[in-house]
Structure 1
């Protein structure tokens, strides 16, 4: 394909598809060029390197998460809707969670969400410094809530490529984990009443429970006069 038929936007969209399918480890300029029906050298005319490509792809998927109308909702409703939208986006693109720990990520779409978070918590009544902290805490909670599913996607991909029996490996690991857990009383009680395969994942509605608890804590802090930067 001639170089002038490629655009940076088209390359980024193809990179997102490749990242969704293969993860960060599966992204390279050669495999991306194959998807585009082009030569790797043609891709480099538009995107400098892999790090730039991950940064651009990461910012592009932030555009998928809806930014609520803060003027039409109270701060808590807007905060919950925003966190839920970002959580859904990260679950659609689990590679982005991993990229937070290995790449410098920034761009206008991500900045728009960061700016919205600050606006939410300033509207709630937090002083600027505490609005920063509240926004950071909310983002950390959302990212942490997606780590498990992102790790599972990555693990499944690695096992499937290993040539070994993925189901057998998972079953063996689950058996060993259950044996270890039974040495501890609270885990043992739960395993005695719940199938080990069911208990291995996060309990149902963990994200909703945690988000509500987080926002309850913010609300309580504001009610106690902790929105002015005081400890």
Structure 2
């Protein structure tokens, strides 16, 4: 499997979770464990996770916990973990259009074309745009055709069209994020919208990961956006 398909698969996975959700979903599904052995396993897993976090400086505690848990289950042979991988979702423009509003209305085909060119799920591209623009209502989207929050040397970039903005975002995500090993929404957000950034005086970046994740989940399950 090439790096492009690997990146898409990771972005589509639903196990971009916090520690509590991971525990609820995976630890509770271990079979063949007594109460005492479960507590011992959990204690070892948490200790190993802490050590891994310190040694790797990796802030993504959920992925570290899952790695540690899988390692201990494999070594001890107790219980089994459910398969958390899912079949990649191919999201097309027709599926996206009902969710897109404002200047993003009827642009689903643009997200689909950009996704195909750069091997990224269009739902991720659309989720970022919806979050960045208040679903097509921001001044940047209406007056600069910037529907992705992309920054330039002089602040928000100005584009000649929404299509140019979407394709620029997809190019940036492929070259500077996915191909650099940033394969989850949390990992992307840490660089795309870093908390505490000088150009974020209202601290809106604090909500980037949860917002994009929520929209992505909505777009890939077919639910209505709030």
Name the TM-score class by shorter chain: under 0.3
More helix by proportion, 1 or 2?
Answer: 1
TM value normalised by structure 2? 0.23
TM value normalised by structure 1? 0.23
Kindly name which structure, 1 or 2, has the bigger radius of gyration based on alpha carbons.
1
